[in-house]
Structure 1
């Protein structure tokens, strides 16, 4: 069973790599096939048609320049289409992420509202100094937020509890 899961994940990894390198592989293979075909066919045509070595050399040079220009244009088109496809995929993923983030923010705001309305919350630092209080805490303690922030919890001592309690 474990070996099967490992082979499955290896296949998934292979598919991911293939997807990631699909455009570069396509460009490389197309360049190799078309380039080889162009060189072979054009050299055969030039050799059969021209006996003059100087003219043959000049035409071979022109043929090389033509090949570079055409193959550059093909590479540009292939790379551009790959970039456009990746950009579209990334934009869709970003849209999904933004929607999920907005939903999470709304849920968090709902939870915060529920906590604020039903619980008293105070956050202190390591020394016991009040750094945050919610509205319910202020309402129950009858202190303003400004009066509480920066104070020790002893400010809330009603005198009914022992000194150790605070």
Structure 2
């Protein structure tokens, strides 16, 4: 059985795919997130290179152990037959209480079953004060009526 929303992508399907990815990452559940990727998925995340779901789960477990109160917004940038490019921004704080906003771009490539087989992420972190935060929804899925990246000028 394939993953929902398989290529070739229309604009509507690509937008849905981006929102499903955002929702999964906002769950902060590494096992759930990993299921969107092919078993042999290849990642470049900043300077880390990962291969396969087990490494993805390990990476995300480490990530969310240190990036506390994580909230993410993704927005489609472009799409093709089996590829989607997104931009995103997320906010989190570390164990010392310092808040950050991370900005980035991802390039995704999907297999015929709709699972992501390649993910290339470029990300930059910016230390922010607590009063500079923009994302205040309860942890978990971003509400449908919450503004997106373009609203904030990100």
* TM-score, L = length of structure 1: 0.20
Larger radius of gyration: 1
What's the TM-score once normalised by structure 2's chain length?
0.21
Which structure ranks higher in relative contact order (CA pairs < 8 Å, sequence separation ≥ 6)?
Answer: 2
